[in-house]
Amino acid sequence: MRKPARQRCHTVLAGLVTLATAAVLSVSVTTPASAADTWTEVGSDRADPLTESQGLTSVEVPAGSPNHYTGIGTIPVGVSVRGWNHVGDPDASYNGYYVEPYQADSGSAKMFRVQAPGGAWSEYVHALSPGEALNNSFDTISPDGQWMVSGEWGTMTRLLVFPTPGVNPSTSPSANLPQASTINLDHAVRDVQGCDFVTATQLLCSSDDPAGTLFGITKPLLQIDLSAAPSGSGDVTGHVTALRQLPLRSSCSGTFEAEGIDYDRRTGTLRVIVVSPGFCVLTDSKTYRFTKS
């Protein structure tokens, strides 16, 4: 996801494709998971830097659908030329609607691109509320399909709740997509790149926090337990727990970037993308798989 005024993953990924002469540096060391960790790494797959570097989601409907990924190479030309040049971590509802979050370099709106189960695409634009950040890092859809949670970059104490575009009957491509309510967090989070519902009242989130001052670890996997299922009838609170540090392994040293997250309820598998530093963004970026122990 993009941090304001920096386009790190976008610019770096596009530029690194041409850096064939970049030097491979020493192997980085992974910090052990915290004692609170209940998610065990069980494997990984290479994440393509152009098409699998921003986000991912499992798709239940129709049966047998492949997992969906997003990256700079998945943005349609017709979308990017209109200014929507960054895509975040997507999600799919249990009835087959697929939603991608988009942002532009400037302006006063963000966009959600929706594919219906039949394959048709539509766009829903949200005009920023006062004080709302421009970036659009992720979306995740509640198990009942009616509500969508999204987040902002930086250090935040909230997540935003919207009616799910294309699913909630109150939404229309021809009307502004309004914010419905807020999830107020009991602990600040930083640079959340993706969240996914595990249950109606629990989220797992990937944080790209580079400082580690909030929870004592950088790049944490976060769990957010909600006081109630989000809806349009009022705000809810969220209790934040850092479960573990995400894997940071590469043949290059430098700054990793934690990206999107997906929980597949059919298998109980959690997947998180971690983009490698430097030249190794091309060679050993990974989608890590976890199961609950």
Has residue 73 been placed in a domain?
yes
As a whole number, mean pLDDT of residues 199-226 equals 98
Query: How far apart (Å, rounded) are the C-alpha atoms in residues 136 and 88?
Result: 7
**The pLDDT of residue 92 is above 60:** yes
Q: Residue 63's pLDDT is what?
A: 87
Distances (CA, A) of 248 to 7, 227, 288: 21, 32, 10
Query: What are the tens digits of pLDDT across the range 149-197?
Result: 999 999 999 999 999 999 999 999 999 999 999 999 999 999 999 999 9
**The pLDDT of residue 266 is above 90:** yes
| Residues making up the chain, counted from first to last | 293
CATH number of the domain residue 194 falls in: 2.115.10
Confidence of residue 1 (pLDDT cuts 50, 70, 90): low
**The pLDDT of residue 12 is above 60:** no
Query: What are the tens digits of pLDDT across the range 122-137?
Result: 999 999 999 999 999 9
Has residue 87 been placed in a domain?
yes
- Is the pLDDT higher at 36 or at 290? 290
Has residue 256 been placed in a domain?
yes
Has residue 216 been placed in a domain?
yes
Identify the domain containing residue 95 by its residue range: 8-292
Report percent pLDDT > 90 for the chain: 85
Has residue 3 been placed in a domain?
no
Has residue 1 been placed in a domain?
no
Has residue 58 been placed in a domain?
yes
**The pLDDT of residue 10 is above 50:** no
DSSP structure class, residue 9: H
Which parts of 20-94 are beta strand (E)?
39-46, 55-57, 68-70, 86-87, 91-92
Task: State the total domains in the chain.
Answer: 1
Query: How far apart (Å, rounded) are the C-alpha atoms in residues 284 and 47?
Result: 7
Has residue 2 been placed in a domain?
no
